[in-house]
């Protein structure tokens, strides 16, 4: 059975490939675009601290649990959860993890593709020299003009969704692995160059203090909910993406260390992106709380004024697009893998799922222009979709996963799969997963319900 399943979706070819693929999934718009802007909206330091705590106490433990479940059954999250629920005799409710995950995937992919489309559009703009010598007002105006044009946004949304579909349709192994091996290190190098540049700006220290000085008076209930939600979003947790990738992981690989690597790299990239962006924000008198446009308004100012800015800027936005691409693939994978297990061809499954998400994405496109005034509970279509997925569906998925692995799987069954050598670390992880993660998520969740 498991051998056959193994053949069905393929398996990562080497020890490092899972790390690469999982990091490719984790590092994306969440780190470069979303983390800085939500940090800006939520007042900075205290938010960052809560976010780091959520990564450590909920994100990493749940990630380990997800990969474990995936590797144990080697099927799509929907079928993995169905099988595990039956095997352990857990309430049927836990099957819902797989279904809710697939639905979250549709929702997230729909808006993710629109935002990634912005990055694609910016590649061309920067390459054409549109930002040379630009100031904060000019950059803000260029961003505003982009949002005001639904046709342009739709074109790039379409291009991105198509690119995503092509890779998924071909299967996960070849194209993706090879590409990521080159690109992830390149992204790292480019961020270091930008970081070096940001050190020379007058606003660097102000940005640094904004990110790392804890002022708890700025922390609202909503900020805590957003921090928890983002810790799931940025690590691709709570909806089965990492579970699906775990299903393709070689059986002899030790899980613990692998997952720590992914969590560490993802967090570092987000923090570095934050330092770069806030240095530019404060150097140019921009508002940290200016919302989803923060990266798209601030970075072009830097590229417009630094030596070689056209070159670095073009390469940077290409890398952002690629980071988004490798993430988008993982968002769709759970649903596609499930359809394939149903006997639908991979190409057809991908086409269907991407088309559906594409249509839903038009709602996000319009929420920045034609529909900007239509609000659901005070939020635009895009904001609502983002809020429901990150702050409700992903944490709920994570909560159920923590309870399932923590309370319904036997310690022996887990150990057998984990191949973890260190007994103490195992005990700490299991304790956190059983007691700390679920309680923390549930508390934040219950408090946050008042916000909906
Ligand atoms: N983690 C990715 C990012 O930060 C986005 C992502 C990929 C994701 N797969 C996911 C988010 C699954 C939630 C669930 O950009």
10-19, 260-269, 326-335: lowest mean pLDDT where? Answer: 10-19
Of 376 and 360, the structure prediction assigns the larger pLDDT to 360
From the CA of 323, give the closest atom in ligand 1.
15
Q: Which residues line ligand 1 (CB under 6 A)?
A: 25-26, 28-31, 108, 233-234, 236, 239, 241, 327, 330-331, 394
Give per-residue pLDDT as tens, 143-166.
999 999 999 999 999 999 999 999
Structure tokens at 223: 């900020």
- At residue 175, the pLDDT reads 60
- At residue 190, the pLDDT reads 87
- At residue 451, the pLDDT reads 65
Q: How far apart are CA 29 and CA 54, in angstroms?
A: 19
Mean pLDDT, all residues of the chain: 92
Over 90: is that where the pLDDT of 447 sits?
A: no
Q: How far apart are CA 212 and CA 352, in angstroms?
A: 44
Over 70: is that where the pLDDT of 176 sits?
A: no
* Protein residue with its CA nearest to atom 6 in ligand 1: 236
- At residue 17, the pLDDT reads 82
- At residue 13, the pLDDT reads 75
- At residue 4, the pLDDT reads 39
- At residue 5, the pLDDT reads 46
Look-up of token digits 């490092």: 16
DSSP string, 335-404: HHHHHHHTT--HHHHHHHHHHHHHHHHHHHHHHTTTTTT--BTTB-HHHHHHIIIIIIIHHHHHHHHHHI
Over 70: is that where the pLDDT of 250 sits?
A: yes
Give per-residue pLDDT as tens, 86-115.
999 999 999 999 999 999 999 999 999 999
Pocket test for ligand 1, best of 235, 321, 330, 394 (most atoms within 8 A of CB): 330
Helix (H, G, I), strand (E, B) or coil at 3: helix
Output the CA 133–ligand 1 centroid distance in Å: 34
Over 60: is that where the pLDDT of 7 sits?
A: no
- At residue 230, the pLDDT reads 97
Helix (H, G, I), strand (E, B) or coil at 420: coil
120's CB contacts (< 8 A; 6+ apart) are: 156, 159, 160, 317, 321
Give per-residue pLDDT as tens, 341-358.
999 999 999 999 999 999
Q: Count H helices and E strands in the chain, helices first.
A: 23, 0
Q: What is the average per-residue pLDDT within 434-442?
A: 96
Q: Which of 115, 319, 310, 302 is nearest to 207 (CA)?
A: 302
- At residue 6, the pLDDT reads 54
Confidence of residue 3 (pLDDT cuts 50, 70, 90): very low
- At residue 303, the pLDDT reads 93
Q: What is the average per-residue pLDDT within 41-64?
A: 96
Give per-residue pLDDT as tens, 368-379.
999 999 998 889
């Amino acid at each position: 059975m498991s051998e056959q399943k193994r053949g069905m979706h393929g398996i990562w070819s080497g020890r490092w490939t899972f790390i690469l693929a999982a990091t490719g999934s984790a590092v994306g718009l969440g780190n470069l675009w979303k983390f800085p802007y939500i940090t800006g909206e939520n007042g900075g330091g205290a938010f960052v601290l809560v976010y780091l705590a959520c990564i450590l106490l909920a994100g990493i433990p749940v990630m380990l649990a997800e990969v474990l479940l995936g590797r144990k059954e080697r099927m799509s999250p929907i079928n993995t959860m169905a099988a595990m629920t039956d095997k352990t005799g857990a309430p049927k409710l836990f099957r819902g993890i797989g279904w809710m995950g697939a639905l979250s995937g549709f929702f997230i992919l729909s808006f993710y593709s629109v935002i990634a489309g912005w990055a694609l559009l910016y590649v061309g703009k920067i390459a054409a020299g549109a930002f040379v010598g630009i100031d904060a007002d000019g950059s803000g105006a260029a961003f505003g003009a982009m949002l005001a044009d639904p046709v342009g946004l739709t074109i790039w949304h379409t291009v991105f969704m198509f690119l995503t579909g092509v890779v998924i349709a071909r299967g996960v192994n070849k194209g993706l692995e090879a590409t990521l091996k080159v690109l992830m290190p390149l992204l790292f190098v480019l961020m270091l160059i930008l970081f070096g540049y940001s050190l020379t700006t007058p606003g660097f220290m102000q940005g640094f203090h904004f990110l790392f000085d804890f002022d708890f008076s700025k922390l609202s209930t909503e900020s805590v909910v957003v921090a928890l939600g983002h810790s799931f979003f940025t690590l691709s947790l709570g909806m089965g993406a990492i579970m699906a990738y775990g299903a393709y992981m070689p059986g002899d690989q030790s899980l613990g260390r692998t997952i720590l690597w992914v969590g560490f790299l993802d967090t570092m990239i987000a923090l570095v992106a934050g330092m770069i962006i806030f240095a530019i924000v404060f150097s140019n008198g921009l508002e940290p709380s200016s919302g989803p446009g923060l990266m798209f308004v601030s970075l072009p100012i830097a590229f417009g004024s630094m030596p070689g800015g056209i070159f670095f800027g073009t390469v940077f936005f290409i890398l952002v697009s690629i980071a988004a691409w490798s993430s988008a693939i993982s968002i769709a994978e759970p649903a596609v893998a499930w359809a394939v297990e149903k006997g639908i061809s991979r190409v057809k499954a991908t086409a269907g799922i991407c088309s559906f998400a594409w249509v839903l994405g038009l709602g996000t496109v319009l929420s920045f222009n034609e529909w900007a005034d239509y609000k659901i509970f005070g939020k635009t279509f895009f904001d609502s979709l983002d809020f429901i997925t990150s702050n409700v569906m992903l944490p709920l998925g994570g909560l159920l996963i923590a309870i399932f692995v923590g309370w319904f799987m036997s310690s022996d069954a887990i150990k057998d799969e984990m191949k973890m050598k260190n007994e103490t670390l195992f005990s700490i992880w299991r304790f956190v997963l059983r007691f700390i993660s679920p309680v923390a998520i549930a508390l934040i969740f219950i408090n946050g319900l008042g916000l909906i």
